[in-house]
Amino acid sequence: MVLTGNTRTRFSVHADFEPSTLARVLELFSVRGLSYDTMSARKTTDGLQWIELHCSDVEDQHAGVLLNKIRQIITVRTARIETTLLATS
């Protein structure tokens, strides 16, 4: 369930630092026709990478399926989602 215009889902991914990992994560969004509001990726001090994507109005079921697909990427160590209900005016 989603309240249109009222939710923001953050996808957080911790993975091995490989050139293809970011592309694989983004491809999962693309093939499902999902766009993100913001995306950031950085190399961590321990030689891994951290990827975060913020999306508006993602259905809970779609977010769960996407999370499971992200976790199947071989270089991904951990992945999680957090959905926030935004304040309404």
CATH number, position 68: 3.30.70.260
How many structural domains is the chain composed of?
Answer: 1
Answer yes or no: is 37 within a domain: yes
Domain coverage including residue 37: 7-84
Residue 62 lies in a domain: yes
pLDDT in tens, 1-28: 445 568 899 999 999 999 899 999 999 9
The two tokens of residue 48 are: 């891994």
Instruction: Tell me, yes or no, whether 89 lies in a domain.
Output: no
Residue 1 domain-assigned?
no
Residue 33 forms part of a structural domain: yes
Inside any domain, residue 28? yes
HSE of 12 in the Cβ direction (CA atoms, 13 Å)? 6
Query: What's the whole-number mean pLDDT along residues 48-59?
Result: 94
Q: Coil, helix or strand for 78?
A: strand
The per-residue pLDDT for range 63-88, each reduced to its tens digit, is 999 999 999 999 999 999 999 887 66
* pLDDT (0 to 100) of residue 1: 44
Res 89 pLDDT > 60: no
| Helices and strands (DSSP H and E) totals, the chain | 2, 4
Nearest Cα residue to 81 out of 20, 3, 29, 24: 29
**Structural domain includes residue 46:** yes
Is 2 a domain residue?
Answer: no
